[in-house]
Chain A
């Protein structure tokens, strides 16, 4: 696309680097900002700069936090004997929104994939093993993606946690709630048949 100004071109090229934004949307956003009062743009760039410079990660679980220890880790209402391992921050929000989990989290910051240059030492793994060695912790839940890489990471973490006498579990995989059987893919359906659970009338 041809742009009337180099400044626009630069701005578009930066904005279109964001996930889910193409060149056209980027141009629309940039022109929109130009139309607004100048203060709108400076507020935006200021908040982004601040975000970048002042954001902190919880020293225990690596969740995003405004303080050294995040709200979840600091809360006395959370069950400290159980840790849920997730790949990244959106996963924490997703599990929190279920309202079904009252333990603590551990954010790995990625998943083991040597192909993409990510080995175990690039992730927050040592801290997890350290947490797992604490006697308070009784169970670690692997809540990672159901992919080959997710599986590799769960296997590796389980191996590393083995000497520390904690129970390691993995989230269930199966047919989604409200989903119709005929639309479930074969592997998922096959797996839910193999790992079926007893029917509980009280539920």
Chain B
């Protein structure tokens, strides 16, 4: 996939810009706070229908205006598409592809895939399991429609079940027959999700492990999938937890409690990994995601690298540029605050490189 042209109106700090991209590697240089990340975020919007940073569409409008729009000309499998995202204060966000609106925004997910590697990614290592689940959910939703539907269904019934438990507590009564229906639905969609998470992880791991080795050498990185469903007998287990669920007013069994444990040489990365190791781990996670989407979709997503060199030593930066070079990735956008570092990297990359400077009043092409 390739972005040929990007037009922004009132998006974040940009009033109006129109940029044309010609190369496979696009480098965005600029001082802090000039809006490099916002450009990547605009591309992220076109892929995921939302911001990677701020989930409030309203706050992504340029200060003092009342709408924003992002228009991208994308080339996918040698066909051009005009993808447009517009949001006006108080109205619903609309997405058009070649001027046709989507009925549901979710239909767009996975059509124009992108992978973003951002400095916040190390949260995946440090924070709670919900972020790690979300990482794999985002990946699987992009490549498997059934997974997405099951997940929507599961979350809906889970919300209903938890509300029902609260209702029971409030009214001091209970109704096994109704809970049973929710258990049944959670078992049905939950087991599909469990199987898919297990199988896709097995398919994903070789990509991930190989990228980690390329980045960090001999250290062995692993991901272990932990799920309540591994215990089997889902339905019986829901029943067994019922008494405790009533007391805690929440569902204490199910795939919403799954975790993906990140391990380095068999030990938890969170505890023993240095910042550099954690950073390499999450870069490998993202590159694995990229490779997996490539494999499923048979074309290359757009790769967005936000301030990726931060916290990496020279050795690892070298390995990274080697990967960017060798693995015939598709179009890549790289942001960096330091011109020299980028020029150093650009020298190593054989593909055609464009460099843009991001300054206060816009984006200019340097070379």
Contact = CB atoms under 8 A, between A and B. Distances in A.
A115 B164 CA distance: 7
Secondary structure of the A contact surface, majority rule: helix
Contact of B160 (A121, A152, A160): A152
B242 to A, nearest CB: 15
Interface in B141-169: 153, 156-157, 159-161, 163-164, 166-167
A160 B159 contact: no
Nearest to B159: A115
Nearest to A155: B181
- Contact residues of B: prevailing secondary structure: helix
B313 interface: no
A114 B164 CA distance: 5
Contacts of A101: none
Contacts of A120: 175, 178
- Interface bracket on B: 10 to 19
Interface string A149-161: 1001001100110
Nearest to B156: A148
B111 interface: no
B356 interface: no
Interface string A87-122: 000000000000000000000000011110101110
A124 B167 CA distance: 18
Contacts of B185: 148, 152
A115 B178 CA distance: 14
Contacts of A112: 178
Given A114-B163, A114-B164, A152-B160, A119 B181 contact: no
Interface of A: 112-115, 117, 119-121, 148-149, 152, 155-156, 159-160
Interface of B: 153, 156-157, 159-161, 163-164, 166-167, 171, 173, 175, 177-178, 180-182, 185
The 5 closest A-B pairs by CB, nearest first: A114-B163, A114-B164, A159-B177, A115-B163, A155-B181
17 contacts: A114-B161, A114-B166, A115-B163, A117-B163, A117-B167, A119-B167, A119-B175, A120-B175, A148-B156, A148-B157, A149-B160, A152-B182, A152-B185, A156-B177, A156-B181, A159-B181, A160-B177
